[in-house]
Amino acid sequence: MHFSLVVRSGIFLAAFAARETIASDPLVEVTRKISAEVTTNGKAYSDLRELTTIGPRLSGSEGAAKAVEWAKRKMESYGADRVFLQPAMVPHWTRGNVERATVTSTPQPIFLKVTALGPSVGTPKEGVEAGVVEVQSLDEVDKLGAAVRGKIVFYNRRMDATGTSAFRAYGKAVDQRYRGASAAARQGAVAVLVRSMTTLPDDDNPHTGMLRYEDGIAMIPAAALSTHSANELAALLKSDPKLTVNLKLSAAQHSPVSSFNVIGELTGRDLPQEYVVVGGHLDSWDLGSGAHDDGTGVVQSIEVLRTLKALGLRPRRTVRVVLFMAEEFGGVGAKEYASQAKAKGEKHFAAIESDSGGFAPVGFGVDGSDKQVAAVKRWAPYLALFHADAIKKGGGGTDVGPLGAQGAVTIGYIPAGAHYFDFHHSARDRFEAVNIEDLHGGAAAMATLTYLLAEKGL
Ligand SMILES: [Zn+2]
């Protein structure tokens, strides 16, 4: 029999066996207790209110520093055995208060909705004014070559989720935002405008996000256009291919500053030197207040600790809540955490991340060997109570990724994803966008899987 068939039938038998015995299984009782505790006494929602009231938590900002203090106090108040701050130097970039893109060649100026990508450089005070070349891809810029010299390149490929998931659609479109500035600058362009990464086809909100400037290539200003403004600009270009746009951005890069990952522990009763991490990222973009991205992951992870503590559940391995800093600027905190873990010889057994929004639970994505994935799949029957029993291979996540390289099985919480990019990195990502039952259901599912991994292993 082919190996994968052995594994698949093994999973089937394991799931079947679990269902057969589940009525008399003490782990089912634990699952029910976790569910009741989170439903009755859950704090993730009120914690999210507090965290988002601090405001945006851009890497290196005052909001991020306040969130560090808040998270530390919060985990102490829930009775963590140990809470500590792990220093990391993080990027510091500011948006400033000028973000304007104006079509200047029309009889009346037309204002487009625009926001700087981070860490874009700013423009001169008077702005950058030039003709606009619309493209659909980075390849097209390469082919146009000298034709974009002195121009503003306008990347307008849609993030199209037709027949696929929103996350896959994001993956297929985001190269424009991430690498578009350097690709255009290489051919002599003076700035870039990028269609916002959202599945909303006609949204007034621009969605920001990270770009990467390639070494040795001029850093040119880069901004996201709302999809509404991108549609408008494309239509205007059809009637006047020679139109001009003036782009003004007051964004600025600064020297890195000192910040922290926030770490809270529930010491393992039997194998305290083995760790199961559960976490999210504490920093956010600055246009909303970082609710779905990733306030929900932060408060769900804290809720895992609170729930286990409140129920007196102390698993064999140490449960470590890690709130990572500066994920949005390249996963800086995650790299620091993993390098410290390696230097200290800490054995990370498994790491769960919640950074796909606070929507209704669906399941978990597992990065690991086929054997590890199959081992996580056998816990699916216990996650069914939360509708979080879809376990698929792949999808661990940015912040836990570096721990995977050290042998940990890395796991990403999967909520319903269809609307995540309505909010993602935009002014719409606020507390009001989160539903309490969805948020708490996810926290309970994460607490259950964390407990199972820390208590029973793989
Ligand atoms: Zn995120």
Nearest to 190 by CA among 152, 154, 243, 133: 152
357 token code pair:
């929004």
The pLDDT of residue 168 is 94
The pLDDT of residue 21 is 53
Which portions of the chain are predicted below pLDDT 50?
1-18
How does 153-173 read in b/e, with b if 16+ C-beta sit within 10 Å?
Answer: bbbbbbbebeeeebbebbeeb
Distance 341 CA to ligand 1 centre (A): 22
327 noted as active-site residue: yes
Chain length of the chain = 458
Nearest to 376 by CA among 351, 397, 355: 351
What residues have a C-beta under 5 A from ligand 1, the ion? 293-294, 355
Distance 413 CA to ligand 1 centre (A): 12
Strands 317-324 and 252-266: antiparallel
* 3-class state of residue 381 by DSSP: helix
How far is residue 55's CA from residue 147's CA, in Å, rounded to a whole number? 43
Distance 168 CA to ligand 1 centre (A): 15
The pLDDT of residue 2 is 41
Give the DSSP H or E segment for 88: strand 82-94
Distance 30 CA to ligand 1 centre (A): 30
Distance 187 CA to ligand 1 centre (A): 32
How far is residue 416's CA from residue 434's CA, in Å, rounded to a whole number? 12
Distance 74 CA to ligand 1 centre (A): 21
- Strands (E) in 95-221, as ranges, are 99-103, 110-112, 114-116, 128-135, 152-155, 191-195
Distance 124 CA to ligand 1 centre (A): 31
Catalytic residue among 327, 336, 346, 353: 327
Cβ(419)–Cβ(382) under 8 Å? no
Cβ(330)–Cβ(268) under 8 Å? no
